[in-house]
Amino acid sequence: MLHSLPRVVARLADAYFAARGASPPAAPAALDAVEKTLADLWIRGRAGHPEFGVDGASFAAHLGHCGAAVEGLGSREIHAEDLYLCCAALIGDEVAVRALRDRHQAVLPAYVGPIDRARPFLDEVEQRLWDSALIRAADRPPKLASYSGKGPLVAWIGVAAQRIALMMRRSEAAEKRALGNVAAETRSALADPELAFIKENLREPFESALKQAIASLDDRQRMIYSLHIVDGLTVERIGTMYGVSHTTISRWLASARADIVAEARRLLERDAHIAADEFDSLARLLASQLDLSSSLVLAKPV
């Protein structure tokens, strides 16, 4: 049993609401319900993990930070033992970190296997999973700090691993497409001496104009164009994402391409200061290799 229960639960509530940046409810009955829920969650968490300890105020503050739905819910609807384990691991308790990894390692193949069953791939996913889950980055807290206890931690961990695996596969596919684009550009230049000359001597104004032209697209045009030529999505897939037909996406892509060519040509005419015959060749290059060149430019920040 808790020692001096009223005083302890009051401290839990103070820590919880301070972490949330909110004031306790004014109604005594509502505050009493929150205090009792916090105390029950702490007791359940400690009982589930007697091998390590987290003081009540730290645990209550963790519940406030992660957005656990303490108010308005019965404590049995919240996975207290999982939250307690997360809190201890995030505090840096080495026993808790080992327990977290040991208890959830076995679930990872079931979530990652449908994407890739190779052991090296799974090992890489697992390493990235725990790095992101437990280590604070410059611009974000550890991912595990967002687990709020609404569902079992094992499912949360599994889905997080699956997302990492999918991101790795998409990244690899994008890299392959970029390498293919570079190879195609090289072959094209070797086959056409005039094109090779233009690419060597006029690359900077060409890429600058193209970059500005792409940036001038509206948000929808730029997103769809990038999804198609950088991410490699089909017009059917993009149509499903936007809830329109593939013919509509094709029309939007054609419009985006026309706008890019027109704006890039205007910028080149204004800024490049090149001879008319060179400009005509550069303009033909812009129109004929727009997607290829744009995919290389879009791989950089626009």
> What is the structure's pLDDT at 89?
94
> What is the structure's pLDDT at 84?
95
Whether 158 and 201 map to the same domain: the answer is: no
The residue among 237 and 199 whose pLDDT is bigger is 237
Model confidence at 96: pLDDT above 80: yes
Kindly state the average pLDDT of the residues 221-239: 80
Q: Tell me whether residue 78 is in a domain.
A: yes
Mean confidence (pLDDT) of the chain:
78
Q: Tell me whether residue 258 is in a domain.
A: yes
Distance CA 121, CA 113 (A): 9
Distance CA 84, CA 100 (A): 11
> What is the structure's pLDDT at 189?
44
Q: Which of 24-33, 53-62, 257-266, 279-288 has the highest mean pLDDT?
A: 53-62
Tens digits of residue pLDDT in 115-142 = 888 888 888 889 889 988 998 877 788 9
Whether 43 and 109 map to the same domain: the answer is: yes
Whether 126 and 13 map to the same domain: the answer is: yes
Residues in Cβ contact with 159 at an 8 Å cutoff, skipping those fewer than 6 apart: 111
Residues above pLDDT 70, as percent of the chain: 74
> What is the structure's pLDDT at 77?
77
pLDDT range class, residue 302, cuts 50, 70, 90: very low
Whether 159 and 196 map to the same domain: the answer is: no
pLDDT range class, residue 101, cuts 50, 70, 90: very high
Kindly state the average pLDDT of the residues 211-226: 83
Number of structural domains the chain divides into: 2
Distance CA 284, CA 195 (A): 10
Whether 55 and 151 map to the same domain: the answer is: yes
Whether 108 and 232 map to the same domain: the answer is: no
Kindly state the average pLDDT of the residues 205-223: 81
**Which residue type, as a one-letter code, is found at position 49?**
H
Joined together, the tokens standing for residue 100 give 């977290």
Q: Tell me whether residue 55 is in a domain.
A: yes
Whether 110 and 242 map to the same domain: the answer is: no
Whether 111 and 153 map to the same domain: the answer is: yes
pLDDT range class, residue 3, cuts 50, 70, 90: very low
> What is the structure's pLDDT at 199?
55
> What is the structure's pLDDT at 279?
60
**Which residue type, as a one-letter code, is found at position 288?**
S
> What is the structure's pLDDT at 254?
87
Tens digits of residue pLDDT in 179-211 = 455 445 544 444 455 555 555 556 677 777 778
> What is the structure's pLDDT at 201?
59
Whether 160 and 206 map to the same domain: the answer is: no
DSSP string, the chain: --TTHHHHHHHHHHHHHHHHT-PPPSSHHHHHHHHHHHHHHHHHHHHH-TTS---HHHHHHHHHHHT---TTS-GGGS-HHHHHHHHHHHHT-HHHHHHHHHHHGGGHHHHHTTT---HHHHHHHHHHHHHHHHS-BTTB--GGGG--SSS-HHHHHHHHHHHHHHHHHHHHHHHHHHHHHHHHHHHHHHH-HHHHHHHHHSHHHHHHHHHHHHHTS-HHHHHHHHHHHTS---HHHHHHHHTS-HHHHHHHHHHHHHHHHHHHHHHHHHHT---HHHHHHHHHHHHHTHHHHHHHHHTS--
Whether 204 and 148 map to the same domain: the answer is: no
> What is the structure's pLDDT at 31?
83
Contact 256, 223 (CB under 8 A): no
- What burial class does residue 255 get, using C-beta atoms within 10 Å of its C-beta: 0-12 exposed, 13-18 middle, 19+ buried? middle
> What is the structure's pLDDT at 274?
61
Give the SS3 label for residue 76: helix
Range of the domain at 265: 192-298
Q: What is the pTM of this model?
A: 0.56
Whether 92 and 32 map to the same domain: the answer is: yes
The residue among 177 and 130 whose pLDDT is bigger is 130
Burial of 235-253, coded b for 16+ CB within 10 Å and e otherwise, reads beebbeeeeeeeeebeebb
Q: Tell me whether residue 176 is in a domain.
A: no
> What is the structure's pLDDT at 190?
41
For the ranges 24-28, 41-45, 252-256, 289-293, the lowest mean pLDDT is seen at 289-293
Q: Tell me whether residue 184 is in a domain.
A: no
pLDDT range class, residue 4, cuts 50, 70, 90: very low
Whether 145 and 203 map to the same domain: the answer is: no
pLDDT range class, residue 67, cuts 50, 70, 90: confident
